Amino acid sequence: DTGVSQDPRHKITKRGQNVTFRCDPISEHNRLYWYRQTLGQGPEFLTYFQNEAQLEKSRLLSDRFSAERPKGSFSTLEIQRTEQGDSAMYLCASSLKVVGSSTGELFFGEGSRLTVL
Amino acid sequence: DAKTTQPPSMDCAEGRAANLPCNHSTISGNEYVYWYRQIHSQGPQYIIHGLKNNETNEMASLIITEDRKSSTLILPHATLRDTAVYYCIVPHSGGGADGLTFGKGTHLIIQP
């Protein structure tokens, strides 16, 4: 399967613990996005990378959140000192952005569901 | 992103065409219209996008009005597997994240 993969698919943690999610995008894609989705809502943009550079962060991304894409391939999203309000599905997407073209098609993974007790 | 307005839910009988409307009256001349859908417990899936002309692919057709202020996604022969939330999105062009801004979409329920 050459789609976007995310790990773990489910994570249950206690409040105050740190968690890390991993995303492996489609190999030739230069853009990688993180979204968060809570029940009954559409996905909310968190941040995105062009290759290894993090180009934009939403104000939803508090100081407890950090994302990296060290070699322009896989990415990690870490949440420190988790709170119950962090419970959500964390979605990763990748795309091939061609200069001068539209946003392009985003390919999403199945998501990582976080439950903070 | 240009604001879009969609009905919160729609029903359609299996085998019939499902027509999902979207208003995007503030769209700019070079902004595309994208449609994604999200089946329960899965990540969103790209369906189709267009600028001015109508578009068709193996999943759906996209009809954009001449003034570009609204569009309709058409699933020609809906099946039970088409039950999902459908999102109409107009990404902001000319800078910024180009990240798609999802609203609440339309929950399409295909009835057997």
**Model pLDDT for residues B49-74, shown as the tens digit of each residue:** 999 989 999 999 999 999 999 999 99
Average pLDDT score, chain B? 90
Exposure on the CB side of residue B79, measured as CA atoms within 13 A = 4
Q: Which of A40, A44, A109 sits opposite B43 (nearest CB)?
A: A109
- How distant is the Cα of B38 from the closest Cα of chain A, in angstroms? 9
**Mean pLDDT of all residues in B104-111:** 96
Q: Which residues of A touch B42 (CB under 8 A)?
A: 110-111
Contact (CB, 8 A) for A47 and A34: yes
pLDDT at B96: 45
Between A97 and B48, name the one with better pLDDT: B48
pLDDT at B53: 86
Neighbours of A27 (CB within 10 A): 8
- How distant is the Cα of B94 from the closest Cα of chain A, in angstroms? 10
Q: Chains A and B: how many Cβ contacts under 8 Å?
A: 58
Low-confidence ranges of chain A (pLDDT < 50): none
Q: Which of A33, A42, A111 sits opposite B103 (nearest CB)?
A: A42
pLDDT at A1: 55
Q: Which residues of A touch B49 (CB under 8 A)?
A: 102, 105
pLDDT score of B94 more than 60: no
Q: Which residues of B touch A111 (CB under 8 A)?
A: 42-43
DSSP letters of B21-33? EEE-TT--TT--E
Binning pLDDT at 50, 70 and 90, where does residue B95 land?
very low
What dihedral angle (degrees, nearest 10) is formed by the CA atoms of A23, A25, A31, A34? -30
Range list of β-strands (E), chain B: 9-13, 18-23, 33-38, 45-50, 55-56, 61-64, 70-75, 84-89, 106-111
**Mean pLDDT of all residues in B90-103:** 66
C-alpha to C-alpha distances, B70 to A33, A87, B20, B21, nearest whole angstrom: 27, 35, 11, 7
